[in-house]
Amino acid sequence: MRMRIDQWGGDKGRLWESVRDAQRREGLVIRCIGGDSENGIQEVVRPSKTKLDREMERLHAQLDKVARKRDETKKELDIVLWREKLVELASARAETVDDCGWDQRLCFGDEEYAEFGAGVLESYEEENEHATAVDDEMQVDSQVEAGEWWCRGRKKCERHAGCVRSSSRTLQVD
Residue 144's pLDDT is what? Answer: 41
* pLDDT tens, position by position, 142-158: 444 456 777 776 666 76
Please tell me which residue, 20 or 163, carries the higher pLDDT value.
Answer: 20
- The listed range with the strongest mean pLDDT (49-58, 63-72, 145-154) is 63-72
Residue 174 has pLDDT above 50, yes or no: yes
Proportion of the chain in helix, strand, coil states, percent, rounded to 5:
60, 10, 35
Please tell me which residue, 145 or 120, carries the higher pLDDT value.
Answer: 120
Residue 13's pLDDT is what? Answer: 82
Domain ranges of the chain: 2-45, 81-173
Contact 18, 1 (CB under 8 A): no
- Per-residue pLDDT band for 88 (boundaries 50, 70, 90) equals confident
Q: Which helix (H) or strand (E) holds 42?
A: strand 41-45
Residue 171 has pLDDT above 70, yes or no: no
Whole-structure pTM value: 0.53
- Per-residue pLDDT band for 17 (boundaries 50, 70, 90) equals confident
Provide the total of helices (H) and of strands (E) in the chain, helices listed first: 5, 2
